[in-house]
Amino acid sequence: MSKRVVVTGMGCISPLGNDVDSTWQNAIAGKSGIGPITKFDTTGFKTTIAAEVKDFDPNALFGRREVRRMDLVSLYALAAADQAVEHAALEINDDNRDQIGAVIGTGIGGISTLSDNVKILLEQGPARVSPFLIPRILPDSPGGMIAIHLGIRATNFAVVTACATGTNAIGESAEIIRRGQADVMLAGGSEFPIVPIAIAGMNIMGALSDSNEEPEKASRPFDANRNGFVMGEGAGVLVLESLEHAQARGARILAEITGYGSTNDAFHISAPAENGAGAAKCMQAALENANLPVDKIDYINAHGTSTKLNDKSETAAIKTVFGEHAYKLAVSSTKSMTGHLLGAAGALEALFCVNAITECVIPPTLNYQTPDPECDLDYVPNKSRTAQVDHAMSNSFGFGGHNATIILSRYNGDEK
């Protein structure tokens, strides 16, 4: 029999706050983390807004010497991991470090370091390129640096499935524990994509909102006037444990990972299938994995990017899977407040699902003002809602047709 997997700790660095509590409180208050880009000169750019992390000082956390070795994508992950381990009251020592692993994903890795060093190469020559270039840009560096920092020696690898990354990382970590390969896993994602080349690339694809005049209103998932997503940055990390391990050490159990699904559209490199067929199959797979009927799901944290195609196709997929129950579900997109954290999005949104379960509050979809006939579900518009959430679903869909869904459930002792 496979092992049950529970969540015992969480940490995050986000546009809404540099820890779980501030991020959650700002989310349920309906505050936006989106504003003008301050990280570079946006002259000439079509989009000049993003959801930036504020007041993050890695030097104070890790020291200048360590910071030189890492891109912000790794530093965000490291900070979130430290928070999660502390939140879980997890003591790491020689007796357990071989049974603690990490799966930390990223969509585009150390793109900031790569961009900066290409410029150095062209302007100053190859001798001036940073000796830390390669380890800083590798997508497995966030997880590898966490392992070095914490001294954990079980399996450690990166998931890279574009915007589905964070959810896949959590799902795969749960599977590792279920099959007995580790007792504890640090799972999540990290991203630092607010750099000129990434913004320019997304702009030329037509993916980003250019509602620069009112940044806090630019991300408007499921609204008829949505016009693209807003880039975000940060990291989210969850501590997952086998139920037996958590119970043996007297850990506080926040929620249980009960379902996981992963599929691919095999349709288009960046666009979802309009009918949401791949997403529907992914959600159905997660429900089957959890052995839950559709009417047990109380809340869906939607992928909800605020793009025309994604929101339409995700709504269609939810209706395909849930039928009439789709109209009884609460569905919200926290990207309306955090922007889209790409490879870290699913991790942060899993955190929101855990808190929705433990706090009995569903975060809102901000900026929902004009209904779209093709997006006709209950999107928890503009204000958070008090509600009992026993089972929450979190969806993440990425470029390349990647789909990932996890189900988080209230822990009820021996009842599964």
Find out whether 396 and 272 touch, Cβ atoms under 8 Å: no
Q: Is 303 marked active-site?
A: yes
Q: Is 282 marked active-site?
A: no
Find out whether 368 and 379 touch, Cβ atoms under 8 Å: yes
Give the burial class of 370: count Cβ atoms within 10 A of its Cβ; 0-12 exposed, 13-18 middle, 19 or more buried. exposed
| Residues sharing a CB contact under 8 Å with residue 247, sequence separation 6 or more, in sequence order | none
In this structure, what token pair is assigned to residue 369?
Answer: 């003002």
The single residue of 340, 353, 375, 391 carrying the catalytic annotation is 340
Q: How many CA atoms lie within 13 A of 275 on its CB side?
A: 5
Residue type at 112 in one-letter notation: S
**Rg for the chain, CA atoms, rounded:** 20
Which phi and psi angles does 239 have, rounded to 5°?
-95, 120
Question: Could you count the other beta carbons within 10 Å of the beta carbon of residue 373?
Answer: 6
Q: Is 325 marked active-site?
A: no
| Residues sharing a CB contact under 8 Å with residue 191, sequence separation 6 or more, in sequence order | 73, 76, 106, 107, 108, 232, 233, 234, 235, 341, 342, 343, 344, 345
CA neighbor of 59 nearest in space, from 39, 75, 74: 75
The single residue of 303, 375, 391, 402 carrying the catalytic annotation is 303
Pairing of strands 184-191, 385-386: unpaired
In this structure, what token pair is assigned to residue 102?
Answer: 């990490």
d(CA 301, CA 329): 11
The single residue of 12, 163, 282, 353 carrying the catalytic annotation is 163
Find out whether 216 and 15 touch, Cβ atoms under 8 Å: no
Q: Write out the catalytic residue numbers.
A: 163, 303, 340
